[in-house]
Amino acid sequence: MLSVPLPSYASGISDTPLLGDTIGADFDRTVAAHPDREALVDYVSGRRWTYRLLADAIDTLATGLAARGIGKGDRVGIWAPNCPEWFMVQYATAKLGAILVNINPAYRTSELEYVLHQAGVRMLIAARAFKSSDYVAMIEQVRPKCEGLEQVLVFGMPEWDALVQGDIDVDGLARIAATLSTDDPINIQYTSGTTGFPKGATLSHHNILNNGYSVGELCGYTEQDRICVPVPFYHCFGMVMGNLASTSHGAAVVIPAPSFDPIATLQAVAEERCTSLYGVPTMFIDLLTALDSAPADLAPDLSSLRTGIMAGSPCPVEVMKRVIDRMGMREVCICYGMTETSPVSTQTRRDDSIERRTATVGRVGPHLEVKIVDPATGSTVPRGEPGELCTRGYSVMLGYWEQAEKTAEVIDAARWMHTGDIGVMDSDGYLAITGRIKDMVIRGGENIYPREIEEFLYAHPDILDAQVIGVPDPKYGEELMVWIRMRAGAAPLDAEAVRAFCTGRLAHFKIPRYVHIVDEFPMTVTGKVRKAEMRELAKDLLG
């Protein structure tokens, strides 16, 4: 009898049913169960809320927004760095059935105008400023061009202060809650827009509440946990994997700073006795560097840490080892996903080996399906063979806001979301992501996956971080270029030194031809390396 190879398909089995609540109803249930437990801490300002106090603040805000005419289906933009007010707006709009439109804090005026117009934002809630951006001035500049923008509220201004100091209309909020459905759209998150204009992934209560809950379950969260969230709220990592994972389990969110600051993050973990910490691998590299530079007698006490999440890009083995050993995060999880899937599709488990947590992005999450397909034919490939990763289930977005054609390009007739990532599934159902289809380098007919080379280069004692891209080449079609961040005090490497390190240990066609030493990589606000921008910059660097 012929043996049939196992297909690259897996489904997430769970004894725990999906939540059937709206975000507001789930939050109220947690408040009733844990009214006096701490729910939110702003480390910089020292402000803190129990679940009871936080519920009062959110209901007050929701009442005020309703009095200003905001209701079900209205788009409310939020433009601010991480702060308690951002958190409260997230839950207050959910209680009204309004659709929260997350706006990247790094956006400039043209990007702000595009999002306000494309989403049809009626009200914009914003901070006064962030870093070098004067938000108030920028809003005034674009406001005349956005006819649908009826109201602007700015944190700390008189109108905002009056809104958050009013009375709670308990009966009114109850009437609104009775009109809401868990499948209603509740959030629009714009993709990073590395190619063309950003697209607004539209997500429901059911999408993001269940994804946050599932992530928290796999992390083992209870009401005893305190989650340090230095990743941005405007992204799924912060508002879903952070905020919703926390409130659906009665845990606390600790905001270490408005934007990522390694020192503030370590101090917040130590002083607030956080049990969980989030970040992308580059953030953990910076945290470890800060720890190394601190005098032994002044090093922060991280003994409270148990778990956390790394996501956004693969974690180098050496970084993972140090996060577990140096930071005590013995149960740290790796998550994989995308904005369009709310975001997490796969996750490592708390007892997985270091190899599993670095070589793979874990197994499919509960109530979800994944498969690996041939990008050309759509057929599921055998396990062990590379192809495009697809996912299906409760987490798949409703679609791109008012872009049906773009939605159809990524979600097929069977509701499979095509991620654009190259993956391989092993015999146990663990998935490895080897790169983006568009990031794969084809050199002289050889398919090269940058992750393999990057992982190898991390073994060099002087290399802190490495990112490999393909650049045009008249002979081979593409050649390899590596961008390198050096460790503190190390002498910069040149192309000859890098090639010497690789020779005999990598196939000749995998050895980078070009080397570029940098202090920082081009990054998104969420900490993802912008390889598309690196490829454009490389054209100028190489002439």
Token pair for residue 22?
Answer: 């709206």
305 and 387, same domain (yes or no): yes
Q: What is the average per-residue pLDDT within 349-361?
A: 94
Q: Does 527 have pLDDT greater than 80?
A: no
DSSP state of 244: I
479 and 401, same domain (yes or no): no
Quote the pTM value: 0.86
- What distances in angstroms separate CA 191 from CA 195, 196, 200, 210, 526, one per listed residue? 10, 10, 6, 21, 11
Q: Does 193 have pLDDT greater than 70?
A: no
Q: Does 20 have pLDDT greater than 70?
A: yes
**pLDDT class for 196, splitting at 50, 70, 90?**
low
> What pLDDT score was predicted for residue 165?
94
In DSSP notation, 174-194 reads HHHHTT--TTSEEEEEE---S
Asked whether 484 and 457 are in contact (CB, 8 A), the reply is yes
Residue 384: name the closest of 447, 426, 435 by CA: 426
164 and 301, same domain (yes or no): yes
156 and 288, same domain (yes or no): yes
**348 in a domain, yes or no?**
yes
The domain that contains 33 carries what CATH number? Answer: 3.40.50.12780
Distance, CA of 357 to chain centre: 18
**pLDDT class for 295, splitting at 50, 70, 90?**
confident
> What pLDDT score was predicted for residue 483?
97
> What pLDDT score was predicted for residue 195?
47
The domain that contains 533 carries what CATH number? Answer: 3.30.300.30
**pLDDT class for 441, splitting at 50, 70, 90?**
confident
Token pair for residue 93?
Answer: 């709009």
Which residue, 398, 423, 448, sits at the end of a domain? 423
413 and 477, same domain (yes or no): no
Q: Measured between alpha carbons, how far is 419 from 437 in angstroms, rounded to an integer? A: 9
Range of the domain at 484: 439-542
Q: Measured between alpha carbons, how far is 214 from 367 in angstroms, rounded to an integer? A: 9
Token pair for residue 424?
Answer: 């391989």
Q: What is the average per-residue pLDDT within 279-304?
A: 91
Q: Which residue has the tokens 């930071």?
A: 327
419 and 443, same domain (yes or no): no
The residue count of the chain comes to 543
**267 in a domain, yes or no?**
yes
Handedness of CA 241, 247, 249, 250 (dihedral sign): positive
408 and 443, same domain (yes or no): no
> What pLDDT score was predicted for residue 192?
62
Q: Measured between alpha carbons, how far is 31 from 50 in angstroms, rounded to an integer? A: 9
**9 in a domain, yes or no?**
no
DSSP state of 7: B
pLDDT digits (tens, 9 = 90+) for 34-74: 999 999 999 999 999 999 999 999 999 999 999 999 999 99
294 and 170, same domain (yes or no): yes
Q: What is the CA radius of gyration of the chain?
A: 23
Q: How many domains does the chain have?
A: 2
**4 in a domain, yes or no?**
no
Handedness of CA 373, 374, 378, 383 (dihedral sign): negative
348 and 416, same domain (yes or no): yes
Parallel, antiparallel, or unpaired: how do β-strands 185-190 and 99-102 relate? Answer: parallel
pLDDT digits (tens, 9 = 90+) for 458-490: 989 999 999 999 999 888 888 999 999 999 999
- Main-chain phi, psi angles of 415, to 5 degrees: 70, 25
